[in-house]
Amino acid sequence: MKVLIAGGGTGGHLFPGIAIAETFMARDPENQVRFISTRRAIDQEVLAVRGFSSQTIEAEGIKGRGIAGQVKALFKLPGALKQSCRILREFRPQLVIGVGGYVSGPVVLAGRLKGIPTAIQEQNSIPGLTNRILALLVDRIYYSFEKSREYFPARKSLWTGNPVRQELKRVREEPSTPQASLTVLVLGGSQGSHRLNQLVTEALDFLKELKKDLSFIHQTGTKDEDWVRQAYLEKGFQHQVRAFISDMVWAYARADMLICRSGATTLAEVTALGKASLLIPFPFAANNHQEENARSLVEQGAAEMISEKELTGAGLAAVIRKWRNDSRYRTDLAARAKTLGRWQAAEDIVENCTQLVRKGRWN
């Protein structure tokens, strides 16, 4: 089977697509999967490392931009649709899947116009603009949070959870080595978070007595990597600072707790792996979906959440100190998180897509 997967721009869109692609290839090595993603270097590098071919189209996002930016993006749509049709004509896929982001819109629409079975996968609790529109056109909709069902037609929708990369299963196989210190993993998303970087480094000033008891693994994003590393050095804390952590198996295996944004893919990984997490939603996410994502864990006692505007360096230090001193609380949070994990999400999506291609479209 030939499968075309469209999406990217953030790891939150790209990694679920990779999980789906890996499952198609694991099911049958004769399958062929191609991506249409953004021109971001990280997108291209992540796909290349995993051996997936990719192409790009000239498309831009519409939501959250000024009038001039929106007009520019709209004028690019016809060209993006034409490019998508050309790629479909050359690759001849039997299935087109959109995993979110502005790139997926023209590609999935082109697939629909050409009569190819189409599907979308929605990661967040509140669907983005692209998937809300595409939901009216596609044959299948796979969503990650149960509360998202209200946004989609029931007859062609399926709750699967958010696909998790198969490589992360190796976290459970990593040898457990006793650590004297508490290891804190800081994730601000694939592009990092400047405000999270500031808060964590400010918190260090209030944790001086715990220098020997704390260790940090910190994904900063490219712009902040140097000064964050320097802050850890000057304040005397154990640290591993990376602009982008490519080996998440290594990072997750060592983490005792996470301080992170609440993008859907991060939460899928946190729950699948059973990790205690302090969630700090990105306050400018479309439709405030990160707060809604986080709330789904908090309501079940599987994580803590603090809004960015309410958090200070001192407040963050107090949470880290509390969690360091109360291992039972961390363990309970992690156990509750693990009950929400859905390792089988990618397999369920691939099985359903296979049925779609074999039996024909619902619409």
Say whether pLDDT at 342 is over 60.
yes
pLDDT tens-digit series, residues 87-121: 999 999 999 999 987 889 999 999 999 999 999 99
Mean pLDDT across 261-265? 93
Domain identity same for 236 and 255: yes
Is the pTM of the predicted complex or chain greater than 0.95? no
Domain identity same for 68 and 124: yes
Domain identity same for 160 and 189: no
pLDDT of residue 106: 93
Identity of the amino acid at 23: T
pLDDT of residue 176: 58
Domain identity same for 354 and 210: no
Compute the mean pLDDT over every residue in the chain, rounded to the nearest whole number.
91
Domain identity same for 131 and 228: no
pLDDT of residue 363: 46
What proportion of the chain, given as a percentage, has pLDDT over 70?
91
Residue 300 CA to residue 320 CA, distance in Å, equals 21
Domain identity same for 234 and 130: no
Query: How far is C-alpha 208 from the geometric centre of its chain's CA atoms?
Result: 33
Q: How many domains does the chain have?
A: 2
pLDDT of residue 177: 57
Domain identity same for 308 and 270: yes
Domain identity same for 317 and 177: yes
What is the torsional sign of CA 327, 333, 339, 345?
negative
Domain identity same for 203 and 268: yes
pLDDT band of 134, cuts 50, 70, 90 = very high
Domain identity same for 219 and 157: no
Q: In what order do the strands lie in the sheet with 95-98?
A: 53-56, 32-37, 2-6, 95-98, 118-122, 140-143, 157-159
What is the torsional sign of CA 245, 256, 198, 127?
positive
Task: Give counts: helices (H), strands (E), the chain.
Answer: 13, 13
pLDDT of residue 100: 84
Domain identity same for 114 and 184: no
- Domain coverage including residue 255: 170-339
CATH number of 60's domain = 3.40.50.2000
Mean pLDDT across 71-99? 88
Domain identity same for 215 and 126: no
Q: Which residue has the higher pLDDT, 162 or 77?
A: 162
